[in-house]
Structure formats: structure tokens, C-alpha cells
Structure 1
Amino acid sequence: MRNPVGRHGRFGRRTESRWSWTSPWWRAVAAPAAGALSALAFPQPSLWWLAYVALVPWMLLARTAPTGRRAALEGWLGGLGFMIAVHHWLMPSLHVFIVVLAALLGALWAPWGWLVRVMLGGSPSTRRATLALAVVPSGWLMIELVRSWEGLGGPWGLLGASQWEVPPALRLASVGGVWLVSLLVVAVNTALTVLVSVAGARAVGAVGVVLCAVTVGSVWSWAPAPEQSGRVRIAVVQPGIVDGAGAVERRFASGEALTRTLAGQKVDLVVWGESSVGSDLTARPDLAARIAGLSRTVGAGILVNVDARSTDAAGRSGIFKRAVLVGPNGPTGETYDKMRLVPFGEYIPARAALGWATSVGRAAGEDRRRGTQQVIMALPEGDKGGLRFGPLVCFESAFPDMSRRLVRDGAQVLVAQSSTSSFQGSWAPPQHASLGALRAAETGRPMVHATLTGVSAVFGPGGERISGGIGMERRSAEVFDIPLARGTTAYVRFGDWVVHGALALLAALCVLAGVRSLRRPAPAPLVPPARTAHESEARPVR
């Protein structure tokens, strides 16, 4: 006699083996791995082409989930895997807390997993599969929009940013920003998912891939390339790794010595990295005088960055990250205080509740103070006197709206001062530098990314990299001959129209679904069947 339980379970019910690919256990392991896959498209691996296929395994899991709840769970697990992979370099600072943060932020992908199943699950019609090519990428874009809020970590690891060295993608960014590039990348992944898994709609997948290629080609031929309007020579000073006692003073001395080597090279502006000066220049006139002397020696203004306790124009006291322009006669009076701070690195959100994070990692012991507005600075004198540039500090180069605002206010060059010295040897420094290519392409203005320890890089107005930059841990001062550009990109003119369009599409879809549910006829009430004469006669008498 055959075992009545067997692989069909007790009473003949089929049960899945724990090690079956369709079992919840395997799917729970596969989802984070599938979500983490696209992290390899970013620097340092820089497998940019992987971004166009990396979401397919994750989407296949979600579309084959047995229930909508399971699809949402796999969306969340995939988001957790993606967030850990993209931010793994934070582990030395946050330790186990990074898993908690990744789990919280990963929940943003739960609705997206459910959406993938709704649009692509089962055997979708041609119309539903076609609609998915727009709806699924729009859902992904909403996730990127929400997590771009500074309090949730900011726009680090936006999928479109992985295409920073692909010229057609950079041209696309000039039209719709990094958002349009993300939308295209997810649309290709969606089309490929349809192509490989939905037999009745494979033509839709093939057409979707072709349409994405045609879109890129159309933008390439239509979007105007930046029109050159002159050149400027900007030097980047990178003092390299300086540790141990007296590191702040020795870093200043290293930057000072490197800057002197620029004498006679006809430089228009010298840029030092973030936290290159450790004392308030108003409280240390001796440091201000030394920098002014360097300005006279080099014949150019010097943009330094002060990380110290000071007071701003409004009388607020605290620790500010402040960009300060120094000319031959001392500070010019043009300053910019960093506005968007790094969560946990420069302040702790809800410190009263989360202050314990300082005990498990290198979280900020004291919150930095925020600046109140962006500013445009101008070179004090020289052949390029009057050149206007917009300063950003570190984390701020990740925000598309900040560079767009600077260019709308008249900036001819974007300058970001950064310090990633806490994350040397990780993927963070090259990934941070790569963001400059996106900001340059979006705005049609060159961007300088200057750091203390590397990677320092300069990008032209089309997002193209100028020279090789200065690699990690190098100690150097290099001059970059940078083309300027005139004109206004579509992104600077129209802003985040791609995000607004995606939001409108999802809102319209929700309204349509609500209207259809209202029009659906209500189910007929359950009426007990009438008794027959025989049944009535058989009823016992009470």
C-alpha cells in the first residue's frame, strides 16, 4: 500500500518541499539577492549594462507570487537587499543599525511588488502588458522620489545614476533629469520580463524594448548639445589621508603646500575639499591671512570649506559646514552654509529617541546647523573676474533640484566640496564622484567635485569626464581646463516633469480602478431554496 501522505501531504493535499524553488523559503532567500543585483551597475563595479536586466529576476518573483500579500513581501525583501547592497560601505559606521534602516526603507518596495503582480501576474492581456510598460516604471519612480527626501537618506543609489558614463543616457538626463533615465531603465526591465515570461504578450515585450531604444535615439537627435562659450582653469587640491594627532592642522598645511605648486599656472579658481579648514576664519585671522597669501601667490581666488563652531549672519551659533571664498585681501564675504545634512553622519533624526545610535557606530555626537539658502559666488578678480559659480557641500551633489536651482540663478560652474575619508577603499568615493556627471548633464554646466582623499573629478557641461581626475588616497593639486557652456537644458527649464507625469499616471489608474469597482454590479443576495411539498410533509410535528 502506498504511503497516504507522500508528497501530496496528509489527506491527499499537495504540499511543497522546503527545498523546492517554489517554496516560500527559497523565495525569501532569492528576493534580497535579486534586489541586490542592480547595485553592481554602480561604481565601483560600474557594470552599467547590468542595470537594464538586473530587475528581471526580482520582477519574475513578484509576478509569480501566489498572492498579492506574498508579492508585497518579496518587494519588501528585495528592497531590503538593494538598500544594504548600495549602502554596504556604511557598515563600519552604523554596524547592525544599517540592517534596521534597510528594513525600514525596503518597505517602500512592498507596494511595487504588489503592483508588478497586478500588472504582470498570471496571463495578462496584451492591453494590460502594454500598460505595465508605463505603470511599473512609474511605481519605481515614486519609490525613488520618496526616499530622495533628506530625512530618509537622500537620493543615493537612484537607478538612473548608474548610467553616468553612458553618453545617450546623459543626453536623456538633460531632458528629464536622472528621473527620466531611471524610468527608461525600469521600462527596459519590464519589457524584458514580459518578453521572457508572458507567452501571450511577448510581442509587447519586444516592442517595448524597441520603443525604449527609439526614445533614446530621438532624444539624442533632438536634445541640443551644450554650446561652448569659453573656458576656465580650475585647480583641485587633494591633501590625501592625514590621520593621528594634529590631523586638522597637518591637513591644512598639506593643502597649503600643494596650493603653492600652482603658482604660474594661470589658474582662475582653486578648490579645497570639505572640512579642509578646522577653525572659524573670523576667530583665526592668522589662518585667513595664510590663505589670502596663497591667493596672491597663485593669482586666483581660493574656495575653502570650514568645519567649525561659528555664528552665521542670523546670529545662530553651532557647528556649520561652510564654503568660504578667499581672495588676495582675505575672505571676500561670500559664504555658503550646507543646507542638507547627512542623517546620522551630521545629525541624528529625532535625537531624543535615536540618540543611542552614537553608542553602536560613528553617528554624530552633536547636530550640525543648517544653512538657510543657496548662494551664487563670483571670482574676485583676474581674467575670469565675474565668473559665477554655485557651491554645494558633499551630500548635496546627490540632489538634482539643488544644482538646477543654482543654474537657474545664474551659475556657470557647479562646485562640490566633499570628504569621503571615512569610507576609503569602499565603493562610496567613486560612486559619489560619479554623481557629478549627472548634475552636469542635467544642467548643461560643468561640475567640479573636490575631495580631501579622493575621488576628485571634473565633468564637462555634457557630463563627459575631463581628464582622469585624482584617485583615492592620492596627494595632489591638479589644474583642469574646463569648457563653459551657454543655453538652458529642458530639465533646467521644466524641472521634474517626469516625476509629475508618473504621479499623474498612477493617480489616474487608481481613479479608474475605483470607478470600475463602483460600476461592478453587486452580487445577488443568497436566497434559501424553497421547500418542496414532500419536504414540507416530512417535517416532524413539534
Structure 2
Amino acid sequence: MRTSFGRWLVSPWRRSLTAALAGTLPVFAFPAPSLWWFAYVALVPWMLLVRSAPTGRRAAADGWAGGLGFMLAVHHWLLPELHVFTVLIAGLLGVLWAPWGALVRRFLAGSPSAGRGAAALVVVPSGWLAIELVRSWQGLGGPWGMLGASQWQVAPALRLASVGGVWLLSFLVVALNVAVTLLVSVRAARVPAVAGLVATAAVTSGAWVWAPRPQTDGQVRIAVVQPGLIGGTDSGLRRFDREEQLTRALAGRRVDLIVWGESSVGFDLGQRPDLARRIAALSRETGSDVLVNVDARRSDRPGIYKSSVLVGPDGPTGERYDKMRLVPFGEYIPARSLLGWATSVGKAAAEDRRRGTEQVVMDVGHGLRIGPLVCFETAFPDMSRNLARDGAGVLLAQSSTSTFQHSWAPEQHASLAALRAAETGRSMVHATLTGVSAVYGPDGQRIGPWLGTGASTARVYDVPTARGTTPFVRFGDWPVFAALFVLAATGAVEGARSLRPRRAAREEAFVRPARTVRASPARPGR
């Protein structure tokens, strides 16, 4: 006998709406709510719905609808800028969860055996990891909202990140959700579900003990200059004046480096030597190099670049990094000839920014080498890993989320630096124009208070430097490769199983006529 909720789900549209709503639940594990523990059960309603699907096709549709809900929730702050285009993008990316829906039904539907339930603890998280791998491609929006990133403030999880990066955290979070789903819905699979929970706890505890801790070998004093939200006409020059004022107040503080946020200078310093001289004067007054971020049309090459530029007492030092990975629609429009109409329905980029060609490690003196990243790039684990391998002692991000000042985006963005610090065993400074600015030590733990979106100030942080190499820096994205291997092996096994009935049917069809022929002569004698 169907329940009233079961009758509600009979309608495909109602079922899709329910799946979409279930897909939005994980967003509450991310900042600003930061209910990190909710991530361990947030997928359960979605998976319970998918496993009840009457067919594999319906399960795929439930996966797509839930994926749409998830992507729309973690990017909801884009709605005021891209409007309906945000929903379209979420719908397209939601397709990635259609195969995952079919996979969930295959391993969790009905009353799976203990063996199939145990396999689900590995296969279903591997499918989720494959989705995160595909959507991490910059052209599809990048790895914003990876499920493991919700664990940015959990010390044992940060230790695990040093072993397998955010990928390992995502795998384990999904595995916990699968275990809970089995516990509440499949009596026969409760033993492997409990075993999975115990194994996850054991792995986490083992990582706490075994995972190498970064060895701190000193500290540097880094100042973050956050001018705050400045609008109106001539905002670029007025922001520069405010940054200059805040920086001058750092004189006598014995800082080793001063950092301004993304787009802190809206003019090319080659075309505005007066601004370059003013920054150089600040460097002389404070006794520190100043890392600014220039967002302007270059004087030495065509196009607009976003560039981290180091300025010393004598002017620009020649150390420069051009942003490589740009924000889709915010800084460029993919396939502009086809999607250029996005500029008419939202605030998409009117002109594509140009890309840099390689990452750079800068030597700023005092024995300090920094690895700069610009805004969106902090979402990519491989970029901070490359900088650590190239010898960066401190990771440094220049960012601006002023467009999304009153949304969850600034907190979400600032939290990513904790993962990057833990993965690489290097402290990370996240400096913004308008907040949230934050600093994390080499273990991913926060150093000092965040500078919120209402702050206009300069703050000095004592930032630890560390040595040594984490397993993630050494071995890279090994959880992803392991997940792909699991999926390939699962496909081979399932394919072999599907061939067996067909082979048996062919053999039966071949043998049955022969039995009939042998029996025919005996009938007249009966």
C-alpha cells in the first residue's frame, strides 16, 4: 500500500522537484552556515529517492534533477549577475549526475546483499569523485563546491587532506552517506554499513597518527591591506588612495611583505608611472615589498590581464604573474560566438581577459619565496600543489568577491585556502579587496581573525613557514585515479554478468531442438 508521499512521487514532475530539493541540502555544510557535520547525511534523502526509482532511466533522471539542485544551490549567489543563465548552467552540469543516479540504484535498490552493500561503499563514492573530476575542468566552471571542501574547519579532515587532498575528503564524505543510507533502508546490508562507518573512523584516526605533520622552521610577518567596498565615480583612484593610506600606517611594524587584493590597481603601471612611484615610496617607508594586483589593459601586449606585480623600493621588481584560469562568464565567455548573448541577460564579461602561460614563484627577500594565485585559482588543488613543488614557502591568494558582497560567496571562497594550506603543508594568505580575508597555517588551521566584509583595515599576521613534502604534493590526485580504476573494474564485472544470461540463453536455444528430435521416435511405441 502506497503512502501519501509515495503517491506524490508517482508524477515525474513532482519526483524531479523532490530530487532537486534533496540535491540542495549539502549547501548547508558550506559557509556561511558551515554545518560541516551535516555533510555526512546530506546526500541520504537524495539517495533514498534514487534507490526507489522504478527503472534505471528514472534513477538517471533523479540524479540529473538532484545535480541541478546541487549546482544551483552552491552557485546561487550568481543569480543576481547571470539571472536565468545560472539555472541553464546548473541544468547542463546536472547531467553529470545522471549516470551516478543509475549507479546508486544499481547498488542500493531493493534488498542488496551484504556483498553488494559493501561494494556500494566504494563504487558510489567513486562515481561522485568522477563527477567532481569532470566538473573541475575550468571550462565547466571549476571545482567550486567540492563536497570535501565542506570539511575545511575539521582538524582530522585537514590531516587527511595532506594525504589525498580534497578528493579523499569527498570520497569519505560520500561513503559515510552511503553507509547511513544502508543503515536506514536495507536491513540485510546493515553489517557492511556499520563496518564501513568503523573503517572510516579507523582511517581517520590512523591518518591523525600517521600522516606527516609539516615541520615549521620559522615565521614571517605579512600584512593584508583590505580597503573595503568603495563605489561611485573614480572608484579605482579612490580605492588606490585608501590602500595607500592603510599601507602607510604599517611603517615601523617590521613586516616582510605587504599584500593588496585582486584588482587593487586598475591601471597598467607602465602607463601610470606616477602610481608605480607612489607604491615604491610605500615600500621604502615600510621597509617591505608590496604585492599589488593590476587589472588593466597591458601597455606591452594586447588585451586585459589580471597580474600579481611585486613592487620594491625602486619600483616594479620584474616579478610578475598573469592569472591563468579565468572565471567563466565573469572574466571570459566560453564559445563567445555561441554564448555571447549572456551579456544581454546578465553582467557577463563584455571582453575576454587574457590568460597567463605559466605559474611563478617569487623571491621577495628575507628568505621568503611566495607562490601567488589570483581569486578563482584557489579552488584548483593542482595549482597550489605545483607551487609547493616549485619551492614556494608561503602560498598567497589575491581575491575580490565585492560583486557578491552580501552573499555566502566571500565565506566560501575564504574557506578554500584552509584546504590548500593543509594539502601542501604551506601557510596560505587569502587577501581580498572587500573581505573575507583570512590566513591559515601549514596544517590548515586559521591564524588570527577573519577580516569580514565590513572591514576596511590593514592587519599584520605572523605566518609560520614550513618544510617537508606532504603525501598529496608528492603523489598528487591518487584518490581520483583509484576511483577511476574502481569504476572501470565495476564496469568490467557488470558487463561480464550481463553477458552470462545471454550466453546461457543461446546455449539453451541450441540444445532444446536436439532433445525434441531424440524423443520423437519413442512416442508411437507407448
**Structure 2-normalised TM-score?**
0.95
For residues 92-113 of structure 1, what are the alpha-carbon distances to aligned partners after superposition, in whole Å with 9 as ceiling and x for unaligned? 1100111100000001001001
Aligned partner of 2:38 in structure 1 is 50
For the pair 1:331 / 2:316, whether they are aligned, the reply is yes
The structure 2 residue matched to 1:242, chosen from 230, 234, 249, is: 230
For the pair 1:458 / 2:443, whether they are aligned, the reply is no
* Partner Cα separation in structure 2 for residue 19 and residue 442 of structure 1: 44
Structure 2 gaps, min length 5: 521-526
For residues 474-516 of structure 1, what are the alpha-carbon distances to aligned partners after superposition, in whole Å with 9 as ceiling and x for unaligned? 1000000011111100000000000000001111111222233
Aligned partner of 2:376 in structure 1 is 395
For the pair 1:184 / 2:172, whether they are aligned, the reply is yes
Aligned partner of 1:539 in structure 2 is none
For the pair 1:439 / 2:424, whether they are aligned, the reply is no
How far off is 1:21 after superposition?
A: 4.0
The structure 2 residue matched to 1:23, chosen from 2, 5, 10, is: 10
For the pair 1:361 / 2:374, whether they are aligned, the reply is no
Alignment of structure 1 residues 71-470 onto 2, 5 Å: 71-311=59-299, 316-380=301-365, 384=366, 386-470=367-451
Taking a change above 3 Å as real, the CA distance of residues 367 and 185 of structure 1, as seen in their structure-2 partners, is same
Q: Give the percent of matched residue pairs that are identical in Structure 1 and Structure 2.
A: 67
Q: Which deviates more, 18-27 or 345-354?
A: 18-27
How far off is 1:225 after superposition?
A: 1.4
Say if 1:236 and 1:270, in contact at 8 Å, map to a contact too: yes
For the pair 1:518 / 2:499, whether they are aligned, the reply is yes
Residue 320 of structure 1 aligns to a residue whose secondary structure is: strand
Say if 1:16 and 1:23, in contact at 8 Å, map to a contact too: no
* Partner Cα separation in structure 1 for residue 348 and residue 14 of structure 2: 36
Say if 2:279 and 2:311, in contact at 8 Å, map to a contact too: yes
Aligned partner of 2:524 in structure 1 is none
The structure 2 residue matched to 1:492, chosen from 449, 468, 473, is: 473
* Partner Cα separation in structure 2 for residue 17 and residue 289 of structure 1: 73
How far off is 1:346 after superposition?
A: 0.2
Say if 1:16 and 1:22, in contact at 8 Å, map to a contact too: no
For the pair 1:507 / 2:494, whether they are aligned, the reply is no
Aligned partner of 1:70 in structure 2 is 58
Taking a change above 3 Å as real, the CA distance of residues 518 and 28 of structure 1, as seen in their structure-2 partners, is closer
For residues 35-86 of structure 1, what are the alpha-carbon distances to aligned partners after superposition, in whole Å with 9 as ceiling and x for unaligned? 0000000000000000000000000011111100111000000001001110
How far off is 1:522 after superposition?
A: 4.2
How far off is 1:205 after superposition?
A: 1.0
* Partner Cα separation in structure 1 for residue 318 and residue 408 of structure 2: 36
Say if 2:270 and 2:299, in contact at 8 Å, map to a contact too: no
Residue 298 of structure 2 aligns to a residue whose secondary structure is: strand
Letter in 1 for 2:37: W
Say if 2:271 and 2:299, in contact at 8 Å, map to a contact too: no
* Partner Cα separation in structure 1 for residue 192 and residue 453 of structure 2: 46
What is the aligned-residue RMSD (CA, Å)? Answer: 1.9
Structure 1 gaps, min length 5: 1-13, 534-542
* Partner Cα separation in structure 1 for residue 320 and residue 67 of structure 2: 39
Letter in 2 for 1:23: V
* Partner Cα separation in structure 2 for residue 113 and residue 18 of structure 1: 20
* Partner Cα separation in structure 2 for residue 518 and residue 30 of structure 1: 35
Say if 1:275 and 1:306, in contact at 8 Å, map to a contact too: yes
Say if 2:217 and 2:466, in contact at 8 Å, map to a contact too: yes
* Partner Cα separation in structure 2 for residue 16 and residue 85 of structure 1: 29
Letter in 1 for 2:478: W
How far off is 1:28 after superposition?
A: 2.1
Letter in 2 for 1:269: L
* Partner Cα separation in structure 2 for residue 418 and residue 16 of structure 1: 51
* Partner Cα separation in structure 2 for residue 39 and residue 83 of structure 1: 9
How far off is 1:17 after superposition?
A: 7.6
How far off is 1:519 after superposition?
A: 4.0
Say if 1:275 and 1:307, in contact at 8 Å, map to a contact too: yes
